Amino acid sequence: MAKLKIAVLFGGASSEHDVSLVSAYSVLTNIPKDKYDVMCIGITKKGHWMYYPGEYEDIKTGEWENDPDCCTAIISPDSMHKGILLLEDDDKYYIRKVDAVFPVLHGVNGEDGTVQALCTLAGLPCVGCDMTSSAACMDKAITHTILDAAGIKTAPYCYVNRTVLSDIDGACEDIEAKLGGYPMFVKPACAGSSVGVSRAADREGLKNGLKIAFAHCEKVVIETEIIGKEVECAVLGNGSALIASIPGQITPAEEFYDYDAKYKLGTSVLDIPAKISEQQMDKLRELAKKAYTAMGCSGFSRVDFFVTDDDIILNEINTIPGFTPISMYPKLMDNMGIPYGELLDRLIELAIERNS
Ligand SMILES: Nc1ncnc2c1ncn2[C@@H]1O[C@H](COP(=O)(O)OP(=O)(O)O)[C@@H](O)[C@H]1O
Ligand SMILES: [Mg+2]
């Protein structure tokens, strides 16, 4: 059988650009080469799209951008093209047909429905969730709202937009009244990897937290602090044919699971299976599937929870979870008997299945 041509997208105009480079390196080095012809497309922090024909090693370091063989490469929204437009210096362009797109992009401009929408216009299968579910999961305020409607418990929350900055003390009073007191977690509605997330122990912390979070997003979500274990479940599949993994647990090295705790190798402890009771485990896996379905997910997602002695509270859903060697999603699937290479294979098959 002819090999399928896959465009792997990495980098991106996102605060999680660097994480994507490491995730993409792992994807590229593990994708089964006997089945797939891979075309690498890097997106710079400024949002320039380039075909990159060089060594995978230089992706990890960010050196790839300086390769003289790079040329502008964009997904054509014209569904007759079914591929990538390569623009050369002399203004000539070529169309390189592809069978599917694999966005290894985290955060805004990649995980948030934007690239997924482009692939829909292009008529190209895209690995992972579609435009709507990607956008809904990326926005923590929308996630809360949909999960509430589906009867899935999340932390008590409220959200505000930038207009509150004109009367920040008034806004803090409202938030305190709604949530009933400190500590709180203050988060940009649309970021990831803990970027812009802070814990507020008092009014001063809340004010600072709002300012930090608004640097990343127009909307900010504020939640009551939940004291519990951080437990994550990997979900794979389309429609009702879903695998919800045995969950894993993260014990952050820092005060909470912030950016440093996530990416500085060896600082946080990861346990598979999570140290929770069998009943909690069963309930959590069912909740993960229920939330995945309620949010309209397909392909894959990682569903994150807080588990307390007597409750399971959903924190968030990541539609393109980290794929670095130390990331939870690939490890959870490996524990389910799906090794990394096979996982990539299944994700591409699921994308093609959804598109057909
Ligand atoms: N309501 C909360 N209670 C306790 N800890 C929280 C709460 N919300 C977030 N955290 C901590 O902050 C981390 C990052 O928040 P999260 O909502 O997962 O954002 P991100 O999308 O950036 O991963 C979590 O892993 C957890 O350690
Ligand atoms: Mg998180």
Tell me, in angstroms, the distance from the centre of ligand 2 to residue 256's CA: 10
Do 90 and 143 fall into the same domain?
A: no
The per-residue pLDDT for range 155-190, each reduced to its tens digit, is 999 999 999 999 999 999 999 999 999 999 999 998
Q: Does the CA dihedral 237-240-242-244 come out positive or negative?
A: positive
Confidence class of residue 261 from pLDDT cuts 50, 70 and 90?
Answer: low
224 Cβ contact partners less than 8 Å away, ≥ 6 residues apart: 155, 156, 157, 179, 180, 184, 185
| Mean pLDDT for the chain overall | 94
Q: What is the CATH number of the domain that holds 48?
A: 3.40.50.20
* Ligand at shortest distance from the CA of 257: 1
Does one domain contain both 21 and 118? Answer: yes
User: 274-332: per-residue pLDDT in tens?
Assistant: 999 999 999 999 999 999 999 999 999 999 999 999 999 999 999 999 998 679 999 99
From the number of C-beta atoms within 10 Å of its C-beta (0-12, 13-18, 19+), residue 316 rates as: buried
Q: 264: pLDDT confidence band, cut at 50, 70 and 90?
A: low
Residues 326, 196 within the same domain: no
d(CA 231, CA 220): 24
| CA 262 – ligand 2 centroid, Å | 9
Could you say which ligand is closest to the alpha carbon of residue 256?
A: 1
Q: Whose C-alpha lies nearest to ligand 1, atom 14?
A: 194
Domain assignment present for residue 131? The answer is no
Ligand found nearest the CA of 222: 1
- What pLDDT is attached to residue 88? 85
Q: Which whole-number Å values give the CA distances from 27 to 21, 248, 341, in the listed order?
A: 10, 21, 8
Residue 260 lies in a domain: yes
For the stretch 52-99, pLDDT in tens is 999 999 999 999 999 999 999 999 999 999 999 999 877 799 999 999
Residue 346: inside a domain: yes
Strand partners, 39: 7
> Is residue 146 located within the same domain as residue 276?
yes
Ligand 1: distance of its center to the CA of 137 in Å?
Answer: 14
Rounded mean pLDDT, 107-118: 96
- Kindly report the pTM of this predicted structure: 0.95
Q: Is 154 in the pocket of ligand 1 (CB under 6 A)?
A: no
Structural domain that includes position 277: 137-153+227-355
Nearest atom in ligand 1 to the alpha carbon of residue 318 is 21
Q: Is 347 exposed, middle or buried (0-12, 13-18, 19+ CB in 10 A)?
A: buried
Is the distance from the beta carbon of residue 253 to the nearest atom of ligand 1 less than 6 Å?
A: no
Tell me, yes or no, whether 144 and 164 share the same domain: no
On whether both 301 and 323 belong to a single domain, the answer is yes
- Is any ligand 1 atom within 6 A of the Cβ of residue 315? yes
132 within some domain:
no
241 and 220 in a common domain: no
Work out the pLDDT band at 194, boundaries 50, 70, 90.
confident
| Domains of the chain: total | 3
155 CB within 6 A, ligand 1: yes
Percent of the chain with pLDDT over 70: 96
Exposure class string for 180-193: b at 16+ Cβ within 10 A, else e: eeeebbbbbbbbbb
Asked if residue 210 is part of any domain, the answer here is yes
d(CA 190, CA 173): 24
Same domain for 238 and 327? Answer: yes
CA of 221 to the centre of ligand 1 (A): 11
Say whether both 209 and 243 belong to one domain.
no
Confidence label for 263 from pLDDT (cuts 50, 70 and 90): low
Please tell me whether residues 317 and 194 are part of one structural domain: no
Q: Are 270 and 216 within one domain?
A: no
> Is 238 found in the same domain as 180?
no
Beta bridge partners of 104: 10
Contact 67, 54 (CB under 8 A): yes
21-35, 95-109, 191-205, 276-290: lowest mean pLDDT where?
191-205
Range 121-129 average pLDDT: 98
Calculate how far, in angstroms, residue 231's C-alpha sits from the geometric centre of ligand 1. Answer: 12
**Phi, then psi, of 202 in degrees rounded to 5:** -160, -175
